[in-house]
Amino acid sequence: MARRNATLATLAAAALMMGAGATAAFSATTAPPAATFTAPMVLAGGGAEPSIRVPKDGLSAAYVSAPTGLGSNFWRITEQKNADGSSSLIQGPVQQPDLGTGGGDSEISVGNARYAEASPCDAISYSGLHNIDLLNNFTVARSTDCGKTFSLLNPYGTQNTLTDRQWQAFDGAHTNFLIFHKVDTSQIVVSESPDAGNTYVSLSPDGAHGIIDPTTLPSVANTNQVGNIVTDYSHPTGANNLLSMEPTHVMYATFGGPRDPADNAQAQADANVPGTNYNHVDTIYVAKSSDGGVTWTDTKVFSTDPGSKRELNLLFPVVEVDKAGNVYSLWSDGYKIQYAVSTDGAKTWSKPYQVNTDNRGTKPDVGKGNLFPWMAAGADGMLDVVWYHGQGGAPGSELNYRNQGDKSTHWTVAFAQLGKATAKSAAGAAAPTVLSYSNAVTPIMHTGTICNNGTFCDLPVPGSSGDRSLLDFFQVAIDGAGRANIALADNEASPGSNITAYTRQTSGYSLTSGARLAPARVTLPKLVCTADAAFTDPSGDATQVVADTPLPSAPALDITKGYVTYDAAKKVVVFHTKVLDLKQDPPAGGTGEEIEFTFTYAGVAYTAIGEHDASSPTDSFHMESPLRTTVGGALTGSFDKAASEVRVAVPATFFAGLAKKGPVVGNGSKFAGLTITTRRDIASAIVPNADTAGSLGCPFVVGAKAATGPTPTTPKTVPAPVDNRPVPGRLPATGPGAGLPFLAAGLLVLGVGVRRAARG
């Protein structure tokens, strides 16, 4: 989607020298190519803050997982080579490894080698923060067949409770590490799995020790933000893991917090003062372990000027390591995307380099915002950085506390490809070569605010309410060819919805070799929208709790179709789903089924629910909010066993009667982002999902007679961002990035196109 800025031809004339690229030489009047990407492919079933991994086995294009609130969705994406030389990207049926018991947060990781001789695939480890008992544990599961199926879930994966935001990393084919924030001790605890994430052993059952070392803990106790964990395969420790007996390697993890104990004490004092807009997460730390995650040593990467009151957790800090063992730390304060690098194993760090081209001063530019950075490293000194870039808001919208933007702010995925990322300036700051840069490698994927005030964003609290539909992060991963694969939240066509999409790099530079990528032709599934927003779902993809046991509710709750209608005579919107066989009874010991229709109307997300309980003489229907609290009065509907169809009817006046009033439904009213979830055995303590399916972004518009809704092949655009930054550049002599053009100051390739938050 990226196009060259119209001024590039003029800027190119200022280039001092143009070097030969990996495949062709540049003339004095041409610019280095901008990286381009496929149109975002919406993934069925919904979710936000997606995790993405690309397996080394090469059997899948990518794996993506995203939480939905009740359960986390998982997709396997495969690539098909076509006779004309193009490729097609195909998404497999959506799965829920946690059967609906996770979904508060989700995370996946992939092993570094085949799990077993009998399996050609690297193992996939999944974890989901409980929604069945708040902050009490993680549901975990494992796949050894390329994500086609998952093992029976383990709903209490760790020995610790009072848990929050988790991250994962493999060290080998079987050894998986799960780290998470322990709410009551403020520690970041490590659990280890010797069987690729099927079972875990806590390395700190008391939750008192972990990634935050004893020297650092007094500075960050009760005020810290957990970041991710990575393995440095270039540095083996020479020892074997005591549980799995696999060789161990150096690992790194990151977190943010106050700079010292006095700063931490002030953070605690400020937390008790209503309206205080500073959380003191002003320092980034990186921790290192050389003994299989048992002990950790922390170093400070960067601290802000105490007077600036910059918060460096918008949102998660990120750590990454390249193939040469160089370590990178990345963060955002909402305006600046910055990274620092260590070339000595995290002992010392460079001063930061600002990746984004706007917000260069001490105050943010009008209407601009930069959030949710993530990065992926490749060969020595090669780095891809992504983030959400916002522009177009009114003056002052950039100053909203952790809720940047306004109704006119357009957000896109920004992308920077850096070479020589370990280089430093004379002042000691990181000084990479900018190979490619764009503030918009996707069309607009969100319009409005992005709120980082945690669960307060969902409440009508003055100064706190805002849009959390994108949740807290998105990610990039590198495939074997060195291409960037991005999983993002994309609800431009369905405001307020939780929708995950996938895009892959089609030109630019390979992060594994530094060579220019041959431009790729990639086709995506065509999205054809009908007036009733109808969709079909493949039969046989419903979850079965126990393998080879024919539970009556599978296939009974296997979704085959969904659609929406409007009854003008009765003035009701009716949500429909057909399932494979509704006539079967619930499984032994169960009492019934639950069908959930999640959608957005007038920019607000709702879930219309139908419940059938064998112990009750009547079925029940009601509306819930994203926080799973009842909204408004009762609805009507039916469980039609003869037709194997469930319907939930919403009166046209329903939304106008809510505390937060919405418009009365009439011609032109849009219902977007429809996702349907079926659940079995609703009286159990654990409520497993049977199936999840969605309309892939096709909206239902009351009164529409023809096909409606955007398709992935007709992206929207916004004006090209203005960039006045002199861009440093140099001609790499040898190695990755060799032969890349040397750019004069001002020459830059620009693209056109236009939850859970910081709890620590």
Residue 697's pLDDT is what? 75
Candidates 124, 36, 116, 113; CA nearest to 75 is: 124
Express each pLDDT in 252-272 by its tens digit.
Answer: 999 999 999 999 999 999 988
Contact 248, 240 (CB under 8 A): yes
Candidates 190, 182, 272; CA nearest to 231 is: 190
What are the percentages of helix, strand and coil residues in the chain, rounded to 5? Answer: 5, 40, 55
Question: Would you say residue 722 has pLDDT above 50?
Answer: no
CA 64/CA 67 separation, integer angstroms:
11
Residue 547's pLDDT is what? 44
Express each pLDDT in 305-336 by its tens digit.
Answer: 988 999 999 989 999 999 999 999 999 999 99
What percent of the chain stands above pLDDT 90?
A: 63
Per the rule left: phi > 0, alpha: psi between -120 and 50, beta: everything else, 100 is left
If one compares 697 and 618, the residue with the highest pLDDT of the two is 618
Express each pLDDT in 546-564 by its tens digit.
Answer: 444 445 456 678 999 999 9
Residue 584, both tokens: 């079967």
**DSSP 8-state secondary structure symbol assigned to residue 35:** P
Residue 29's pLDDT is what? 38
Domain spans, the chain: 8-117+130-204+216-523, 535-701
Q: Using CB atoms within 10 Å of the CB of residue 130, give its burial: 0 to 12 exposed, 13 to 18 middle, 19+ buried.
A: buried
Contact 147, 76 (CB under 8 A): yes
Contact 77, 92 (CB under 8 A): yes
Across 660-688, b (16+ Cβ under 10 Å) vs e yields eebeebeeebbbbbbbbbbbbbbeeebbb
Task: Kindly indicate the confidence band of residue 571, based on its pLDDT and cuts at 50, 70 and 90.
Answer: very high
Query: Residue 341's beta-bridge partner residues?
Result: 328
Per the rule left: phi > 0, alpha: psi between -120 and 50, beta: everything else, 222 is left
Residues 6+ apart with CB under 8 A from 344: none
pTM for the model stands at 0.86
Contact 651, 633 (CB under 8 A): no
Residue 277, both tokens: 């807009």
> Looking at domain 8-117+130-204+216-523, which CATH architecture does it have?
6 Propeller (2.120)
Query: Residue 424's beta-bridge partner residues?
Result: 430
Residue 70's pLDDT is what? 77
CA 303/CA 300 separation, integer angstroms:
8
CA 96/CA 559 separation, integer angstroms:
14
Question: Would you say residue 715 has pLDDT above 70?
Answer: no
Rg (CA), the chain: 25
